[in-house]
Amino acid sequence: MKVFDAKHIKNIVLLGSHGCGKTTLAETMLFEAGLINRRGRVEEGNTVSDFHPIEHERGSSVHLSCLHTEWRNYKINIIDTPGLDDLVGETIPALRVADTCVLLLNAHHGVEVGSDLIWGRMQHYDRPVIIGVNQLDHPHADFDSTVAQAKDHFGGAVTVMQYPVEQGEGFHRIIDLLKMRMYVFKDDGGKPEKEPIPESEKERAEALHKELVEKAAENDEALMEKYFEQGELTEDEMRQGLKLGMMARTCFPVFCLSALRNMGSGRLMGFIDNVAPSALEMPPAPLVDGGELPCQAEGPAVLFTFKTINEPRTGWISLFKVMSGEVTEGMELVNDNTGATERIGQLFIVDGKERRHVDRLAAGDIGGTLKLKDTATAHTLHTPGQAIKLKPIAFPEPRIRVTVKAADTRQEEKLHQALLDIHREDPTVVLGFNRETGEQVLGGQGELHLNLVKWRLEHEQKLEPVFGSPKVPYRETIRRSAEASYRHKKQTGGAGQFAEVHLRIEPWSEGMPAPEGVNVRGMDEHDLTTGGKLVFCNAIVGGVIDNKFLPSILKGIMEKMERGPLTGSPARDIRVTVYDGKMHTVDSNDVSFKIAGTMAFKDAFAQADPQLMEPVQEIEVRVPEDLMGDVMTDLQGRRSIIMGIEGQGRFQVIKAHTPLAELDRYSTTLRSLTQGRGTYSERFHAYQPVPGDLQARLVNGHREEEAVA
């Protein structure tokens, strides 16, 4: 298979809301280039891109899919992506390795919710953008309205390159403002006839052409001077200016398309070839150490894995971009993330489920290989003797969490491994274990995302997973000091058990003074695995308790703190001072003092104004301004404290502190309140006191559970 050099490779990612025609456009581009003989249809489940069974069942993309096409001596690598925000784990890796984003807008619906959400993701990567107004053959298509919305949402960089003469079911003519020609398509699309611009369109075409020339000129001083002197630029000069504008993100060219009827795709591919930047022209890739890696054909061989796929018969496939140098079969590379040496056994480029063998891949190209034993997504591989590590991909934190277990307990191990494999493929699927609640917790980007995970477990692994709501990891503490004593005495036929412990407990805080009224002989701080501290003070005088029994008292207290007296939640931030007690020369032992310590602590805890603490999350909710009121009302109903509101373009960002107990399935509620236009992120903020009425309900509920047990 032909191998292209770095200058003739263009990498694009197809982006857009659900149903805007990304997969259809990819199919049309392959057909136009002659790489397939017949165009498949999404509805029929026979496109090159959507080949997974779940995609056939849903009738839409679920996974990113790599394709390529060859057009006029250029290779265009295409990454087709899903349009739903729940599947952002497939979109972000594609954004990371693409050099140009092609954002499709539906000419019927204009800028949709998904368009806005994807635009927000694109902003983090500063990639050049081409906008394709697709489905101009729809009966209700409105090109001018769509462009106006795009300018309103994305800014003045939106630049019309083409416009349709007619739209709707009669759409078949496009005015191209760069070439100043009219493209006339047959009913079945394909290669158009090039004709002069008709008189009826000349005035509009010339006005828009002038705007395009100005947009191209403003990106280069020499071009601007020439434009001022001559009032015009050549086509090549305009291409040069548009490329600079795209790279500076001051120009987002707009093209006309009907991907379904194969109209406009060839012109789009030609523009990608001639104007869109190659990897060689893009800014260097950032390294973890703060340095940069330029894409150079003569540089060291460096790969960046952006996707890992597990195929049942083949095993693990790693998709990567050659960030520098050249990669050949048989080459040994070092994984800078793990230190392992990996041998590239096979090289191929990917077209959906098909793999096409190649001997080598040049800088800027995208390909795949098999069975890299110690390599995962976002790893850097390079020639030995180097020290190169590219910045990893930043995946979003989960927005929804559920507990997961197997209906058949005998399948727990298989379920756990299957979820680990899914996480390796999609890092936005996060698996964890809450030691306090004993629950396996699964995190994802939304209800749909988790439902897709469940589908895979059921259909691919033949498992029966059970999802549920996670328990809230409460904490227990105290608000005042208290003293208690406990005597443990047990007499049996032989040696008995005896221990008496007197202790004081009090709330602990950093820097607090030493205990009053006692002679502290030793003080130890213990960091608890669940957070917070236990400070244990030895104030025994006169040898009433031998030092050898103090560790047993401490052990009994710590075990009780692991399952606190209120609700069985871990206790934290308490200082315990053991100041008196009794022992017996024969009957005292470690077990006796452990029991006495436990019971004395429990009694003191009940008298020390116990307080239940709950985790509070710091959340940021991004919503359209006109829907902010409904979201604010809902947040206040969730016991949120609003910390501030910031404007962010057409959106408002609400910052709040919200109890974790109130955020179960919040992503679903937010989408309902905002018609899918709102998003949020969360991170742990602090543990704060639970309101008294809620604490009483939780404590009573725990007592009832214990009584039943």
| Digit-coded pLDDT (tens) for 126-158 | 999 999 999 999 999 999 999 999 999 999 999
pLDDT band at 493 (very low <50, low <70, confident <90, very high): low
pLDDT band at 706 (very low <50, low <70, confident <90, very high): confident
Interatomic CA distance for residues 90 and 666, integer angstroms? 22
User: Region 358-368: what's the mean pLDDT?
Assistant: 95
The CATH number that applies at residue 181 is 3.40.50.300
77 and 191 assigned to the same domain: yes
pLDDT band at 463 (very low <50, low <70, confident <90, very high): very high
Residue 160 lies in a domain: yes
Please check the confidence at residue 1 and state whether its pLDDT lies above 70: no
Q: What is the dihedral of CA 492, 495, 497, 499, to 10 degrees?
A: 150
Looking at residue 219, what is its pLDDT? 87
Residue 676 lies in a domain: yes
Which of 555, 586, 608 is the C-terminal boundary of a domain?
Answer: 608
Q: Compute the residue count for the chain.
A: 709
624 and 594 assigned to the same domain: no
Interatomic CA distance for residues 401 and 441, integer angstroms? 7
Please check the confidence at residue 528 and state whether its pLDDT lies above 80: yes
DSSP state of 60: S
Q: Tell me the whole-structure pTM to 2 decimals.
A: 0.86
How crowded is the C-beta side of 608, counted as CA atoms within 13 Å? 31
The CATH number that applies at residue 331 is 2.40.30.10
441 and 536 assigned to the same domain: no
Residue 703 lies in a domain: no
536 and 642 assigned to the same domain: no
Please check the confidence at residue 536 and state whether its pLDDT lies above 80: yes
Looking at residue 709, what is its pLDDT? 63
Dihedral sign of CA atoms 633, 634, 638, 640 in order: negative
The CATH number that applies at residue 677 is 3.30.70.240
3-class DSSP state for residue 501?
strand
Which of 575, 608, 641 is the C-terminal boundary of a domain?
Answer: 608
Residue 315 lies in a domain: yes
Please write the tens of the pLDDT for every residue from 161-176: 999 999 999 999 999 9
128 and 58 assigned to the same domain: yes
User: Region 650-656: what's the mean pLDDT?
Assistant: 91
Query: Which uninterrupted H or E stretch holds 576?
Result: strand 574-582
Go through 665-703 and write b for each residue having 16 or more CB atoms within 10 A of its CB, e for each that does not.
Answer: ebbeebbebbebbbbbebeebebeebeeeebeebbeebe
Using alpha carbons, list the distances in angstroms from residue 336 to 63, 211, 248, 543. Answer: 27, 48, 32, 59
Using alpha carbons, list the distances in angstroms from residue 322 to 97, 234, 296, 379, 417. Answer: 9, 35, 10, 12, 31
Looking at residue 436, what is its pLDDT? 79
Using alpha carbons, list the distances in angstroms from residue 441 to 79, 110, 435. Answer: 32, 39, 10
Please write the tens of the pLDDT for every residue from 81-112: 999 999 999 999 999 999 999 999 999 999 99
Looking at residue 314, what is its pLDDT? 86
Looking at residue 312, what is its pLDDT? 82
Output the 3-class SS for 365-386. Answer: CEEEEECCCCCCCCCEEECCCC
User: Region 373-396: what's the mean pLDDT?
Assistant: 94
Residue 36 lies in a domain: yes
Residue 699 lies in a domain: no
316 and 346 assigned to the same domain: yes
User: Region 558-576: what's the mean pLDDT?
Assistant: 93
3-class DSSP state for residue 562?
helix
Q: Which of 269, 236, 346, 341 is nearest to 75 (CA)?
A: 269
Residue 389 lies in a domain: no
290 and 173 assigned to the same domain: no
251 and 186 assigned to the same domain: yes
Number of domains in the chain: 5
pLDDT band at 503 (very low <50, low <70, confident <90, very high): very high
Please write the tens of the pLDDT for every residue from 206-232: 999 999 999 999 988 999 999 888 888
Tell me the sheet residues that pair with 571.
476
Please write the tens of the pLDDT for every residue from 289-323: 999 999 999 999 999 999 999 988 888 999 999 99
Phi and psi at 499, nearest 5°, equal -165, 140
Straight-line distance from the first to the last Cα atom of the chain, in angstroms, rounded to the nearest whole number: 69
Please check the confidence at residue 404 and state whether its pLDDT lies above 70: yes
Which runs of E-coded beta strand occur in 296-412?
302-311, 315-324, 326-328, 332-335, 341-343, 348-351, 354-357, 360-362, 366-370, 380-382, 400-406
Please check the confidence at residue 494 and state whether its pLDDT lies above 80: no
Q: Which of 135, 123, 102 is nearest to 14 (CA)?
A: 102
190 and 119 assigned to the same domain: yes
Q: Which of 438, 435, 449 is nearest to 401 (CA)?
A: 449
Percentage above 70 pLDDT, the chain: 99
The CATH number that applies at residue 421 is 3.30.70.870
**Interacting residues of 314 by C-beta distance below 8 A, sequence separation 6+:** 370
Q: Which of 511, 602, 615, 622 is nearest to 559 (CA)?
A: 602
Which of 608, 640, 656 is the C-terminal boundary of a domain?
Answer: 608
Among 3-7, 250-254, 380-384, which stretch is predicted with the lowest mean pLDDT? 3-7
Looking at residue 4, what is its pLDDT? 87
pLDDT band at 268 (very low <50, low <70, confident <90, very high): very high
Q: Is 561 in contact with 534 (CB distance < 8 Å)?
A: yes
131 and 24 assigned to the same domain: yes
Interatomic CA distance for residues 149 and 43, integer angstroms? 29
588 and 513 assigned to the same domain: yes
Residue 107 lies in a domain: yes
Strand 651-659 relative to strand 610-624: parallel, antiparallel, unpaired? Answer: antiparallel
Q: Supply 242's token pair.
A: 């548009």
The mean pLDDT value of the chain amounts to: 94
505 and 574 assigned to the same domain: yes
Look up the domain containing 319 and give its range: 285-382
Query: Which uninterrupted H or E stretch holds 490?
Result: strand 482-490
